[in-house]
Structure 1
Amino acid sequence: MRLVNSIVARNVRKKGQLGGGDALVLHTVGAKTDKERSHPLACFPGPDGSRLIVASANGAAKNPGWYHNLRANPDKARIDIAGETIEVRAEQLHGEERAQAWAEISKNPRFAAYQEKTDREIPIIKLTRR
């Protein structure tokens, strides 16, 4: 999987696209290992210039590993997007803020289907420039 991620990440850095939508490469610090990990992810624009990412794990029963890394180290993340590397802070959305974000994100049929596949509420993470 790491090999596939590295190939996809290289393409995302060049094109800023993944599966026909906007994308970024998220760099996290491992919650247990303290090692850097990179993850190509779809992203959505936030209302304030931030970026939103979705911990969908393709609708799996559990959250993806990068989600746990961000929870443990919200101030140790950065993103590659549009040829730029940006230091970011990660914050999980809750309540009305999450509901508004999900209303936009779920217009994408792929993400709407992920929620239908799982019983957990899929976390939405807001990434803002540090």
Structure 2
Amino acid sequence: MPVVERLVQKVSSTRSFARIAPHCVPALDRAVHRLTGGRLLLSTKLLPGLVLTSTGAKTGQRRRTPLACMPDSGRDGTDEGWVLVGSNFGRPGHPAWSANLLAHPDAEISWKGRDIPVRARLLRGAEREAVWAALLRFWPPYGRYQARVEREIRLFRLERRQAPGR
């Protein structure tokens, strides 16, 4: 593993990072995403990322949230799905976007400059355990986030769906 990646993983696992990152990382990602016409997220220099557009669980308003993800490629290597991790940087509560997906699973993502309609499904049981093991290989700090909180971190699989009107 490259030295820079190990350093980033170590820093991103700290409580200090968990206090600071939620206030600056999403704002920077939203700005870069907007300025590049949806082609780039700053955080994708570390992990793959997307912008989730979901419907607010309480307000019903559209919410745009930049998130790290684990792509779930099909047999032919195409983007078939994505896994989202409700780690909230290892902070106690579930992130708001995860409640939005529980209430309104139909959403949209911006992925590599393309808008894609998706449906979210909360992972449970053996499927969740298999994905969790893959996530820990993909980004080990998730294990440290889980160790810091009493709640089970929510995992969602996003799968493509037909766009409305098609």
Question: Match of 2:39, SS?
Answer: helix
Identity %: 36
Gaps of at least 5 residues in structure 1 are: none
Q: Which amino acid aligns with 2:150?
A: D
Is the CA contact 1:16–1:81 (under 8 Å) kept in the aligned structure 2?
Answer: no
2:102 pairs with 1:71? yes
**Equivalent residue letter for 1:5:** P
Unaligned regions of 5+ residues in structure 2, if any?
1-21, 75-79, 162-166
Partner of 2:71: 45
Q: Which residue of 2 aligns with 1:114?
A: 145
Aligned-pair CA distance for 1:10: 4.2
- CA drift of 1:4 comes to 5.8
Look up the match of 2:10: none
How many angstroms apart in 1 are the aligned matches of 2:160 and 2:124?
20
Q: TM-score, normalised by structure 2?
A: 0.70
Greater percentage in helix: 2
Q: CA offset at residue 93 of structure 1?
A: 0.5
Aligned residue for 1:51, secondary structure, equals: strand
**Paired residue for 2:56?**
30
Q: Which amino acid in 2 is paired with 1:8? A: D
What displacement does 1:56 show?
A: 0.6
- Matched residues in 2 for 1:44 and 1:4: separation? 18
How much is the aligned-residue C-alpha RMSD, in angstroms? 2.0
- Larger RCO, structures 1/2 (Cα 8 Å, 6+ apart): 1
Pair 1:89 & 2:119 matched: yes
Aligned to 2:29: 8
**C-alpha distance in 2 between matches for 1:17 and 1:127:** 22
Letter in 2 for 1:68: A
* Number of positions where the alignment pairs a residue of Structure 1 with one of Structure 2: 129
